[in-house]
C-alpha cells in the first residue's frame, strides 16, 4: 500500500520581469525629451541671471531653441533686472509646467501599457517528485 502522507518540501521560486515593456521604453523617451526641454530652459534662465552676453553664439542658440518652448509662457510674468542680471520668472514656471506634463504623460503610459511585475511562485514537491529527477 502506498503512503499518502509522504513528506513534502516547499520551495519558493522567484520570477522577475524583464523591465523592457513598451510602456517603460515610452516612459523613458518621454522623460528624456522633456528633460532636454527643461535643461534648455534652465540654461536660458542661468545665462540671463548671470548677465551673459546676448550676442555670444551659444547664448543666441540657447535663446533661439528654448524660445520655441518658452512661447506659451513669455507674457505670463515680467522680468526683473538687477545690476545687469535678469530674472525671467516665466522660465521657472515653464520648467515646472513641463515637469508636471511629463509626469502626467508617464502616469498615463503606466496606466495604459501592460506591465511585467515580479511574481513569487510557491512550488510544493513531495519526496516522490524529488526521486523522479
The answer to whether residues 77 and 89 touch, using CB atoms and an 8 Å cutoff, is yes
Q: Is residue 132 part of a domain?
A: no
pLDDT grade, residue 21 (50/70/90)?
A: confident
Q: Is 14 exposed, middle or buried (0-12, 13-18, 19+ CB in 10 A)?
A: exposed
- Quote the pTM value: 0.70
What is the spatial distance between Cα 72 and Cα 66, in angstroms, rounded to a whole number? 11
Q: Is residue 4 part of a domain?
A: no
Q: Report the domain count for the chain.
A: 1
Nearest of 132, 114, 112, 124 to residue 17 by alpha carbon: 114
Q: What is the pLDDT of residues 74-85, one digit of tens each?
A: 888 888 888 878
Q: Is residue 6 part of a domain?
A: no
What range defines the domain where residue 69 resides? 22-113
What is the spatial distance between Cα 27 and Cα 4, in angstroms, rounded to a whole number? 53
Amino acid at each position: 500500500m502506498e503512503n499518502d502522507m509522504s513528506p513534502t518540501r516547499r520551495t519558493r521560486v522567484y520570477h522577475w520581469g524583464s523591465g523592457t515593456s513598451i510602456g517603460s521604453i515610452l516612459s523613458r523617451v518621454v522623460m528624456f525629451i522633456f528633460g532636454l526641454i527643461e535643461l534648455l530652459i534652465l540654461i536660458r534662465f542661468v545665462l540671463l541671471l548671470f548677465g551673459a552676453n546676448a550676442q555670444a553664439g551659444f547664448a543666441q542658440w540657447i535663446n533661439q531653441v528654448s524660445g520655441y518652448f518658452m512661447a506659451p509662457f513669455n507674457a505670463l510674468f515680467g522680468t526683473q533686472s538687477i545690476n545687469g542680471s535678469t530674472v525671467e520668472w516665466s522660465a521657472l514656471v515653464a520648467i515646472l509646467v513641463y515637469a508636471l506634463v511629463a509626469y502626467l504623460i508617464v502616469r498615463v503610459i503606466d496606466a495604459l501599457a501592460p506591465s511585467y511585475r515580479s511574481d513569487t511562485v510557491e512550488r510544493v514537491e513531495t519526496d516522490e517528485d524529488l526521486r523522479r529527477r
